[in-house]
Chains A and B, each alone.
Chain A
Amino acid sequence: MSSSETGNYEYVSARVRSRRAYLYGDEEYRRFVRMGPGEISRYMEETTYAKEVNEFGARYKGVDLIEYALNHNLASQFEDLLRWSEGELYEHISRYLKKFDAWNVKTILRGIYAKEDIERIRDDLIPAGEFKSAFLEQLIGSSDIEEFVNLLEGTMFGKVLIKGFREYEDTGLLVPLENAIDRCYYQQLLRKTEVVEDPSLVLYTDFLRAEIDFKNIMNALRITHSGSEIPITEYYIQGGKQFTAAKLSSSMKNLDEMISMIRESTYGEQLSGAIEKLEGADSLISFEHELEAVLLEYCDRLSHVYPLSICPVIAFVLSKEKEIENVRAIARGKEAGLSPEEIEKQLVIS
C-alpha cells in the first residue's frame, strides 16, 4: 500500500482543490469584459499570474503580455501536477497531459502547412506536454511536412503520422494527419485504462469516452454545418460510448436528425439546454461552449464522487484550460473592438 505504487492521491487532490478555488469566476470575467488589456494584466498581477506578468511585463504589453502570462502559467501549473504526483497517479496525469503534445504538434503542422511565421507558431504553443522545448523548436524549424513527420518518428505519433502522410501526399489535405494525431492521443489514453476494475478508474474511462463522444459530435456538426461532403469516418475517433461511426454518418446529412440523435442519447438530459440553443441559433459556437461546460460539470461530479482518484486532477486541468481560453477570448475580443455583450457570448462559464 505504499504511496509510491498507487499514487499520493490525498496530497495531490488537496493541492489541486485549493488551486481550483483560486480560478477566476463569473464575477471576474464580468469585470474583465469591461476592462482594457492593461487593466486586465494589472488585475492578473495581483492573482495567481503574478510571477508570469512580472516576468514578461518588461518585454511585452497589452494582449501579448496576457497571452504569454496565460500560456506560461498553464504550463507551470501542469508541471506542478507532475512534480507532486507519484506512482500510478503520475502515470495517469502524464498520459492525460500528452493532450498538449497533440495540441503543439497540430499547431506546428498547421503552421508549416500555412507557411506561417516561425515567431507566430511559437506564440501559439503551450509548453505543458512531454516534448522538450528544444524538440519543439526543431519541429517548428522543419522546412516541410515530410521533414516534420520524420522528426516525429520516434515519438508516440510516429507510426500513425507516417500512415497519414501517405494520404496527405495523395490528397494534399491536412485532415488525415490531424486526425491521426487525435486518434493516437485518445487511443494511448484508453489502452491503459481498459483492463482495470477500480471503480474510480472505470468512471475515469467513462469520462474519457464521453469526451471522445463529444469530440465526434462536434466534428460531425461542423461538417454538417459547413455543408461539405467529407464522410465522418475520416474524422471519427474510436472509443466513444454512445455514437458509432455508422450512427453518426447516417444522421449527419441533416442537422435536425443530428439534434434528435443527441437528444435521444444518454447525454440528452444534460444537454437539453444546449440543444435548445442549437435549434434556435445557427451559431455552432454556443453549442460548442455548452458541450464543454457539460463535460466539465460531468468531471466535477466525478471528482466529488471519487475524491481520491484522478478525477479532481482532470477537473482542474479542464477548468484551468477554460480559464485560459476565457481570459484569452476577452483580451482578444477587446483588441478586436467587440462589445462586452459579444465577448460574453464567447465565454464558457459553468
Chain B
Amino acid sequence: MLEIIFDLLANNAVPLQEHVSTDVVHGSLPKAAAALGVGLAALGAGIAERGIGAAAVGAIAEDREFFGIGLVMTVLPETLVILALVVIFLV
C-alpha cells in the first residue's frame, strides 16, 4: 500500500517540478509520510477500540458502575494516536 502512495506522490510531483524546485518536493515528502503515519495509528486505535468498546458496553449493560472504568479502557488506545501526533512536530 505504501508503494502505491509513494508512486502517487511521485507522479503528482512531476507537473509540480516544472514550477517548483525538486528540493521543495523532497522537503514535503517526510511530512506526507508523517501524516500517513498518524492516519495509520488512528486506524490501529480504532481497531483496538472496537473490541474494547464492545466489551465495555457489555459490562455497562450489566452494571452501570462500570461506566467510568469502561470509558477509560475504551479510550486507552487513543494514546497511540497522541503519540503518533508527536511525529508531526518532529519533521
Contact = CB atoms under 8 A, between A and B. Distances in A.
Contacts of B56: 14
A10 B54 contact: yes
Contacts, number: 34
Interface string A1-36: 001000010111111011100000000000000000
B66 to A, nearest CB: 8
B63 A14 contact: no
A225 B62 CA distance: 45
Interface string B38-67: 000000000000011011111101110010
B62 to A, nearest CB: 4
Interface residues of A, number: 13
A13 B58 CA distance: 8
Contacts of A84: 58
Contacts of B57: 11, 14
Contacts of B59: 14-15, 17-18
B55 to A, nearest CB: 4
Interface string A271-312: 000000000000000000000000000000000000010000
Contact of A10 (B52, B62, B63): B52
Contact of B55 (A3, A11, A19): A11
Interface string A149-166: 000000000000000000
24 contacts: A10-B51, A10-B52, A10-B54, A10-B55, A10-B58, A11-B54, A13-B55, A13-B58, A14-B54, A14-B56, A14-B57, A14-B58, A14-B59, A14-B62, A15-B58, A15-B61, A17-B59, A18-B59, A18-B62, A18-B63, A18-B66, A19-B62, A84-B58, A308-B51
